[in-house]
Amino acid sequence: MIGGVMIMGDRGTGKSTTIRALADLLPEIRVVDRDPFNSDPEDPELMSEEVRTRIKAGESVPVGSMKIPMVDLPLGATEDRVCGTIDIEKALTEGVKAFEPGLLAKANRGILYVDEVNLLDDHLVDVLLDSAASGWNTVEREGISISHPARFILREGISISHPARFILVGSGNPEEGELRPQLLDRFGMHAQIGTVREPELRVQIVAERSTFDEDPATFRGKYEDKQNALTNKIVDARKRLKSVDIAYDFRVKISQICSELNVDGIRGDIVTNRASKAIAAFEGRSEVALEDIYRVIPLCLRHRLRKDPLADIDSGDKVREVFKAVFGLE
């Protein structure tokens, strides 16, 4: 997994529309029926505790399929809404874990989308950091206190964990504020979207939007074949991905670029390698080409560079310059 995508750009450039359309493009996933965590029926790492226990006991679980969930995380959401809540009194009095799943549970094995992510409250940023790092969401609540005539107090804490492996996608306008570096580093790739300046293309966009507003069903039908073809292409690329190879010399040069750009850690190296293989698989090839690396490396590294307020060059262009120097293309 590449680790999610951050899309930053001007207002009104279609960022949210594009991201929400991803759910219709991606193939369906197999899930355990009526499981609130979208548990995978085969992978224990993607199962809830209840499903794992049932399978270990030899019980058969009903299996179905569903579209990949697309979950919106509102900026003003409470921590309980995001993580889920525990009914402590019911847990202590009836001996059952009464858990109300939150948004992280719904987003498991899907996409968690945060619009205006650079305006997200710090307490929610901390929650996302924990889940993104471990792939699990743990909800812990203090127990209730019960006084007895014997003058002692019973206090018991409750803890519940469930898988929370999601693709984190964020969008926003850079003019409205910066994103915390810890969360920014969790995004595998960073794309910048600019406003279209060509009059002819702007007219075409306006005409397409007007056609959709007048008759959405007909508009969707017009592009159904192309969308299905793209979905099938994604399915084939996933199957091919494991067989795609990247030359050792390319891997060394990718790490050299990261080193010369003073990129902290090795996430930049890892993401660039994975993204290069992914684009090769998507285009039906089993070997990463130099052009593949050139296309993805600015997206993988531009947000990992240290900020220089006096710099007179775009961070993406800086990555490309170092790429050309390392690969001897100048």
Active site residues: 267
Are 110 and 69 within 8 A, CB to CB? yes
Q: Is residue 265 left, alpha or beta, with left meaning phi > 0 and alpha meaning psi from -120 to 50?
A: left
Distances (CA, A) of 120 to 90, 102, 127, 154: 33, 17, 11, 38
Tell which residue, 141, 186, 182, 145, has the closest CA to residue 161: 141
Report the alpha-carbon distance of residue 11 to residue 174 in Å, rounded. Answer: 10
In a 13 Å sphere around the CA of 321, the CA atoms on its Cβ side amount to: 9
Report the alpha-carbon distance of residue 326 to residue 251 in Å, rounded. Answer: 12
Pairing of β 63-66 and β 99-101: unpaired
The residue whose two tokens read 């359309």 is 21
Report the alpha-carbon distance of residue 302 to residue 300 in Å, rounded. Answer: 6
Report the alpha-carbon distance of residue 315 to residue 304 in Å, rounded. Answer: 9
Which residues is 243 bridged to in the sheet? Answer: none
Which residues is 161 bridged to in the sheet? Answer: 138
Q: Tokens for 67?
A: 């579209």
